[in-house]
Amino acid sequence: TDREPTVTDIETGLSLARHLSCNLVIGYGGGSAIDSAKAIAAVANNPGDLSDYLEVIGKGNQLAVAPLPCIAIPTTSGTGAEVTKNAVIKSPEHKMKVSLRSPLMFPSVAVVDPELTRSMPPELTASTGIDALTHLLETFVSNQSNIFTDMLCREGIGRISSSLQLAWSDGTNAGARENMSMASLLGGMALANGKLGAVHGLAGPLGGMYTISHGTVCATLLPAVMETNIRLLGEQGLHDRLERYNEVARILTGNHSSSAPGGAEWIRELVTLMKIPPLSVSGIRETDFPEIVSRSQSASSMKGNPVALTDNDIMGIIKMAL
């Protein structure tokens, strides 16, 4: 699928799985396909309907029993969904993206073969690659980072810095594809054991309200969020968190004297080089800004941002990303 799974998609798959008494679900594809498989496997083995288990728009019940076994086989290098415990599902009715989430939802097996990503076109390589980078970067600078996630993030960011542009310009480059698959996997492991930030806090509401791919949203927001966070951390004297951005800049640029703004600029230039379109092409209306801001402030990812953002800060980020 070239879009995120909807409630109807999952309900259709769930009905089929139950009708056929399936004992295994395989997710083959990008994050949308894998999230679909995880959600179907989870609810098929439990009583009730999908709505009983969805957060926000449903009852948010916990799974009573373990899901059906699920095998995840990613063909993109972005979401890391093969090693995470949630499935993101879109509800067009509510204009929201919500999660089905449980520690029981980690796939039983993840088969990560970079060869399966070689056929990704450049635009998909770009958007999924920036999604992986966002997972790693946001977890690393998060106010809930830890030693375990730090190791994963440093390794993953380094692999992306050397390989995303290569994979985008030459999809047959085996080394670049391998590095991107590994970075995506590391990003999934990191976010499953840490917290994200304002990019994902905004990406959820935007993806629910508009038809725009998650990776593209992340690519447009990441430089703007970085620049805003860096400025606010400096103004508030939060030097330990600012040092995180300095380290990111050094890894990305390969320049040991680089500082935080250099990292944001490196990403902005890469996004431009890879021709990822700005947020404005998705038809975002200024009249929706207040609702986007309000929804993002209540998003769970926003709580991991290294510095608290005001409504005006978030409004500024949206405008920078247009």
Q: What is the pLDDT of residues 250-302, one digit of tens each?
A: 999 999 999 999 999 999 999 999 999 999 998 999 999 999 999 999 999 99
Residue corresponding to tokens 């944001």: 264
Whether 77 contacts 183, CB under 8 Å: yes
* Domain chopping of the chain, boundaries: 7-112, 115-321
User: Tokens representing 94?
Assistant: 């509510």
- How confident is the model over 131-160, as a mean pLDDT? 99
For the chain, percent of residues with pLDDT exceeding 90: 98
pTM: 0.96
Residue 5 carries which DSSP code? P
**Cα separation values, 258 from 207, 224, 245, 290, Å:** 33, 19, 10, 36
Q: What is the pLDDT of residues 5-61, one digit of tens each?
A: 999 999 999 999 999 999 999 999 999 999 999 999 999 999 999 999 999 999 999
For the chain, the C-alpha Rg in angstroms (whole number) is: 19
Q: What is the pLDDT of residues 180-197, one digit of tens each?
A: 999 999 999 999 999 999
Q: What pLDDT is recorded for position 3?
A: 81
Cα separation, 256 vs 157, in Å, equals: 15
Whether 171 contacts 125, CB under 8 Å: yes
The full DSSP string for 141-159 is HSTT--HHHHHHHHHHHHH
Please give the CATH superfamily to which domain 115-321 belongs: Dehydroquinate synthase-like - alpha domain (1.20.1090.10)
- How confident is the model over 164-177, as a mean pLDDT? 99
Cα separation, 209 vs 95, in Å, equals: 5
Report the run of H or E that residue 98 belongs to, with start and end: strand 96-101
For domain 7-112, say whether CATH 3.40.50.1000 is its number.
no
Residue 75 carries which DSSP code? S
Q: What are phi and psi of 98, to 5 degrees?
A: -130, 165
Q: What is the pLDDT of residues 67-122, one digit of tens each?
A: 999 999 999 999 999 999 999 999 999 999 999 999 999 999 999 999 999 999 99
Residue 282 carries which DSSP code? G
Give the list of residues 6+ apart from residue 291 with CB closer than 8 angstroms, or none. Answer: 205, 209
Q: What pLDDT is recorded for position 2?
A: 61
pLDDT for residue 1 is more than 60: no
